[in-house]
Structure 1
Amino acid sequence: MVRDTWATRTGFILAAVGSAVGLGNIWRFPFLTGESGGAVFVVVYLALVALIGLPVMLVEFVIGRRSERNPVGAFRRLGHPSWKFAGAIGALAGFIILSYYSVVGGWVLQYIVASFSGGYTGDTGAFFVQTASGTNAIIYHAIFMALVAGIVSLGVRDGLERAAKLMVPSVIVLLVILAVYAATLPDTGPGYEFYLSPNVDTFASDAVNILPAAAGQAFFTLSLGMGVMITYSSYLGEDRNLLNDSLIIVAIDTFIAILAGLVTFPFLASQGQDLVQDGGGAGAVFISLAAAFETMPAGHLVGGVFFIMLAVAALTSAFSILEMVVSYVVDTFDIARVPATLALAAIIFVIGLPTAMDLNYLDAYDKFANNILLIAGGLVLSLFIGWVFASDALEELGQGRGGNGGFDTYWINVVRYVVPIALLVTLALAIQEYVEFLQTTFF
C-alpha cells in the first residue's frame, strides 16, 4: 500500500500546530493555571516547554522521519523491535486521551448551540451539569467522534492537511480578536495580575502539584509522548529542516496558549469572579466564561464566536490523535483507511462513555494519561534516542540542514541527561499525586 505524504511544508506545520493547538491550550491550560497558582504555573510551564518539550519533539520527529512508520512499527523499522513498547505507551495514551477529549469536544458543540439559543441563560453551573454528563453528553460525544472520523478517513492530504490549512489560521484570528476585546473590558486588572505576575511562594508551597501539572500540560499541548509527532513526521521528506519546523510549531503553540489566558482571566476578572475557584476545574472555563458572556454587551455573540473557535481547535487536535492509531492499524495489518478509522473511532467512543457519565472518571482518565503515560512515553523515547540510537539520530537531525551543528551536540546531551532526570522526578511526583487523588475520590 502506498503511504501518504504531506503535499507542502505549510500543510505539515499547520497540521502539527493544529495537533498541538486545541483544548489543551484553550480549555486545559486556563483551568490548570487557575488551580495551580496562576502566573507561577505559567512560568514553570514555559520553562518546561523550552527545556524539555522542544528536545522531545525533535526526538519524535527523528524517529518518525527515519522510520516512516507509526509509533509502534517505527522501532522494528529502525532495527530495535524490543523498544516497540515505547510506542505502545503512546498509543495507549492516545486512546485514553481521545476518549475523554471527545466528550469535552461534545460539551463545546452544546455550548455553540446554547450561545445562539440562549440555552445557558441564568444558572450557568446548572447548565454545565446538564451538559457534562448523561444523555446529552453521550449524544454529542458521538457527534464529535463522527466528525473526527470523517476527516481522518479522507487521508493525509485530502483530510488532515486541507482541514488544518482552514482551521488553524481561523483559531488564531478568532483568539486574537477575543484577546483584544478582553483588553477593552473594565476591571480586568486583577485578571492580568493573577495571570502575569508570579508569586514564588506559591511554587515553594505547592511544587509537588505544580511541577507534574505543568509537565503534563507541556506534553499534552505539544502532542508529545503519545506518538502523534512520530506519526506526522513519518510523512515528511528528507529535505525538511526538523529543527526549524519544531521551533515554529512550539512558538505558535505557546503563543496561542498564552493568548487563551489573556482571554479567560480578563473575562473572569471583569465580571468579578474568583480567579482561583472559577478558573480551576474541568468545567470551570465553561461555567465561568458562560457567566461572563451573560453580562457582556452582545455576550451571546461573543460566546458563540469563542465556542466555535474552541470547537475548531478541538477538532484539529482530535484528528491528530486518531490519525496516530489509524496509521498503526493501516501500516501493521494492511487494512484500508476508511474501515480502520471507523472501527477505531467506535472503540474510542465506547472507552469514553464512563467520562460522559461521571466527571470523576474524566479527571481520572486525564491525570493518568497526561501526567503519567505521556511523561513515561517521553522518558522512554528520550532514553532510546540518547543511549541506543544517538549516532543515527544526529545524522537524521542533520538532514535538510547541510549536516550537524552546535545545536545537535547540545540536543543529544539534553536528551541523554537532562530530559530523563527531569521526567523521572516529574513521573514520581505524578504517581504520588495520582494515588492520593484515587484514594480521596474513589475510596
Structure 2
Amino acid sequence: MAQRETWTTRAGFILAAVGSAVGLGNIWQFPFKTATNGGAAFVFVYLLAAVLIGLPTILGEFAIGRRAKLNAVEAFEQLNHPAWTVVGGLGLFTGLWILSYYSVVGGWVIRYTIGSLTGGYFADTATYFGAVSTGVEAIAFHALFMALTAGIVAFGVEDGIEKATKLMVPSVVLMLLGLGVYAFTLDGSGPAYGYYLSPDMGYLANNLGSVVPFAVSQAFFSLSLGMGAMITYASYIDKDESLPADGGLVVGLNTAIGVLAGLVVIPLLFVQFGQVPEGAAGGGPGALFVSVAQAFANLGMAGRVVGALFFFVVLIAALSSAISLLEVVTSYCVDKYGWNRKATAFGFGGALFLLGTLAAWDTAWLGWFDTLAYSVLLPASVLLGVIFVGWVYGPEAIDEVQQGSNADAMYARLWVWWLRTVVFVGVFVTLYLGVTSIYASPGLPFL
C-alpha cells in the first residue's frame, strides 16, 4: 500500500478544515436560517451552540482522527473499538447524503454567477429561479459542480485539497469583507443591523422549540461535524500540532465568516425591500436566491458586478466544503481496499450525481433531503460521536488532546466532562426536537 499522505503545513490543515466548514452552510444556509428563525435571536443561539457544543465536539473528532491515522470508518477499528464503526459509517452516510443535494445548490450558484454577468435574472428573478432550479438544466449544472468536486479530490490531499483550499479560503474571506463594506455604505442598511445583531429575547422565548434545533444543527452543518470530514482531515496531521489551538481557529474563523455572510446578505435585503422579504423567510431553500437576486437586479449595472462577485464567493466556498465530504468516502476506500483515488473520487461523484437528480428535478425533494439531514442525520451522528469520546474513549482522548499542546490535564478532563453533560444534553434535545418536527411536518414528496 502506498504511503499515506499528510498535510505539508499546519496552515494547509487549518485552511482545509475551515474550507470544509465554510461553504453553503455559511453563505446560503446561515442567512436563510437566520431569516426563517427570528434574525438576531437565531444568531444568538447559533453563536452559543458553536462555542459550547461545536468546539468541544470538533476537538473530539480531531482526537479520533489523529489518534487513528485512518479514515472516519476504520479509525474506530484502529482504536480497538470495532463496534463503534457505526459512528464513522453514519457520518460517512450523512456526508454523502448532504453532498448529493448540496451539489444541486452548487449548480444553482454556477448558473447565478453566469446570470449576474449577463443580467439574465434581472427581468424576473422568480421566473429565472424556476427555470434554472429544476429540470434538465439544473441536472446539467449539478453534474458540472460534482465533476469539479471530484476533480479536486482526485488529485489527493497535498496536490488537490490542500492547494485548492489555500487559494479558496483566503479568497472567500477577502471578497466577503469587500462585499460587507459595500453593504455597509448602502443607504437604509441601518435597520438590517438591528434585525441581525439585536436579539429579540421575547421572540426567542416564544419560539425556543423551533429556533434551538435549527441553530444547533446549523452549527453542526457549518462546522462539518457528524459527517466524518473532521475525523478524516485530522488523520493527516502530525502529533506535534495543538488540537485545542487548531479547533479554536477552525471554529472561530468559520463562525466569523458565517456572521460576515449575514452582514452582506441581510443589509442587501433590507436596503431593497425594507425588511427580510416574506418569501425569503418562508418560501423554501431557494427563496433567498430569488430575494438576493432581486436586490442585485435593483442595483442596475452595478448589480451585475456585485452579483457576480457574490455568487462567485458562494461558489468557491461551496466547492471547498464539497471536496471534504467526498474525501471522506474516497479516503475510506483508498485506505481500506487500496482503490485508485481518481477512479474512486469520480465513481462516487457519479453515484451521488444520480442520487441528487431527485433534488435537481424537484425542489420539494431538495427540501426534504435538507430537512432529514438537519433534523435527524446530523444530530444523531454527532450524538453517537459525543457518547464515544465522552464515555468510551475518554482517557485516550485526553492523552491525545494533550499531545502537541500545553493543555493541562485538569482542563482536558473538564473537556470530557463537558462532553458527557452539557454537549450530550444539548445534542440529545436537538435530535428529539428534530425528530418531533419531522413527525409534525407534511408528508414526503412522493406521498
When normalised by structure 2's length, the TM-score is 0.97
- Counterpart code for 1:165: K
Cα separation, 1, equivalents of 2:136 and 2:195: 37
Determine the structure 2 residue equivalent to 1:92.
93
2:335 pairs with one of 307, 331, 334: 331
Structure 1 residues 435, 441: closer, same or farther in 2, change over 3 A? farther
The answer to which of 98-107 and 375-384 deviates more is 375-384
The aligned counterpart of 1:107 is: 108
Task: Tell whether 2:320 aligns with 1:316.
Answer: yes
Aligned-residue offset at 1:285: 2.2
2:228 is matched with which residue? Answer: 227
Residue 400 of structure 2 corresponds to which residue in structure 1? 396
1-side partners of 2:444 and 2:244: how far apart? 44
Q: Secondary structure, in 3 states, of the residue corresponding to 2:101? A: helix
Per mean C-alpha deviation after superposition, the further-off stretch among 374-383 and 405-414 is 405-414
Aligned counterpart for 1:293 among listed residues 291, 296, 305: 296
Give secondary structure in 1 for the equivalent of 2:214: helix
Within 5 Å, which residues of 2 pair with 1:253-292? 253-275=254-276, 277-280=278-281, 281-292=284-295
Question: How far does residue 191 in structure 1 lie from its aligned partner after superposition?
Answer: 1.4
Maintained 8 Å contact 2:91/2:228: yes
Structure 1 match to 2:355:
351
Q: What's the % identity of the aligned pairs?
A: 47
> How many angstroms does 1:192 deviate by?
1.3
TM superposition shift of 1:403:
5.9
Residue 39, structure 1, aligned to residue 43, structure 2? no
Residue 118 of structure 1 and its aligned partner are, at CA, apart by: 1.4
CA distance in 1, matches of 2:407, 2:218: 33
| Higher alpha-carbon deviation: 265-274 or 170-179 | 265-274
Distance in 1 separating the partners of 2:72 and 2:164: 23
Gap change, CA 1:441 and 1:344, over 3 Å in 2: closer
* Alignment of structure 1 residues 24-423 onto 2, 5 Å: 24-275=25-276, 277-280=278-281, 281-296=284-299, 298-402=302-406, 404-423=408-427
Q: Report Cα offsets for 1:343-372 as digits up to 9, x if no partner.
A: 110111111111001111111111111221
Contact 1:215 1:371 in 2 (8 A): no
Q: CA–CA distance in 2 between the matches of 1:205 and 1:440?
A: 28
Q: Please state whether the residue corresponding to 1:11 is helix, strand or coil.
A: helix
Q: Supply the distance in 2 between the matched residues of 1:163 and 1:441 (Cα, whole angstroms).
A: 37
Please give the root-mean-square deviation of Cα atoms over the aligned residues, in Å: 1.3
> Residues 395 and 404 of structure 1 are in contact (CA less than 8 Å); yes or no, is this contact kept in structure 2?
no
Which of 416, 436, 442 aligns to 2:440? It is: 436
SS, match of residue 397 in structure 2:
helix
In the alignment, the residues of structure 2 paired with residue 35 and residue 353 of structure 1 have an alpha-carbon distance, to the nearest angstrom, of 26
Q: Tell whether the 8 Å contact from 2:368 to 2:444 is kept in structure 1 after alignment.
A: no
8 Å CA contact 2:25–2:218 kept in 1: the answer is yes
User: Which amino acid in the other structure matches residue 320 of structure 2?
Assistant: T
Deviation per CA, 1:19-40, whole angstroms, max 9, x where unpaired?
A: 0001000000000000111100
Which residue identity is paired with 1:413?
A: W
Structure 1 position 286, deviation (Å): 1.2
Distance (whole Å) between structure 2 residues aligned to residue 373 and residue 272 of structure 1: 36
Q: Say whether residues 1:5 and 2:9 are aligned partners.
A: no
CA deviation after TM superposition for structure 1 residue 278, in Å:
4.1
Deviation at residue 276 of structure 1 after TM alignment: 5.2
- Give the letter for the 2:286 counterpart: G
Determine if contact 2:192/2:275 at 8 Å carries over to the other structure: no
The one-letter amino acid of 2:414's match is: Y
Residues 6, 161 of structure 1: 8 Å contact kept? yes
CA distance in 1 between counterparts of 2:135 and 2:78 reads 44
- How far does residue 440 in structure 1 lie from its aligned partner after superposition? 8.1
Q: Distance in 2 between matches of 1:406 and 1:29?
A: 35
> AA paired with 2:421?
Y
The C-alpha deviation readout for 1:368-420, integer Å capped at 9, x for no partner, is: 11221111111111111111111100000000015644421221111111111
Q: Which moves more between the two structures, 275-284 or 162-171?
A: 275-284
Q: 1:283 is matched by which residue type in structure 2?
A: G
User: Which AA in structure 1 matches 2:176?
Assistant: L
CA contact (8 A) 2:107 2:141 kept: yes
Q: Which amino acid aligns with 2:285?
A: A
Equivalent position amino acid for 1:437 in 2 = S
CA distance in 2, matches of 1:348, 1:69: 23
Deviation at 1:441? 6.2
1:435, distance to aligned residue in structure 2 (A): 1.9
Q: Is the 8 A contact 2:277 2:291 kept in 1?
A: no
Equivalent residue of 1:195, what SS? Answer: helix
AA matched with 1:245: D
Aligned to 1:427: 431
Distance in 2 of aligned mates of 1:390 and 1:237: 21
> How far apart, CA to CA, are the structure 1 residues paired with 2:409 and 2:36?
41
- Structure 1 403/23 Cα, relative in aligned 2: closer, same or farther at 3 Å? closer
Post-superposition shift, 1:437?
2.1
SS at match of 2:273: coil
Which stretches in structure 2 are left out of the alignment for 5+ residues? none
> What runs of 5+ residues in structure 1 fail to find an aligned partner?
none
Change in Cα spacing, 1:352 to 1:440, as seen in structure 2 (3 Å) is closer
* 1:244-297 Cα shifts (integer Å, max 9, x gaps): 001011111011011011001110111125415243331122111111111225
SS at structure 2 position matched to 1:439: coil
Q: Partner amino acid for 2:317?
A: A
Measure the CA separation in 2 of the matches of 1:378 and 1:336. 30
CA shift digits 1:172-220 (9 cap, x unpaired):
0000000000011111122111111111121222222111111110000
TM-score (norm 1): 0.98
Give the match's secondary structure for 1:226.
Answer: coil
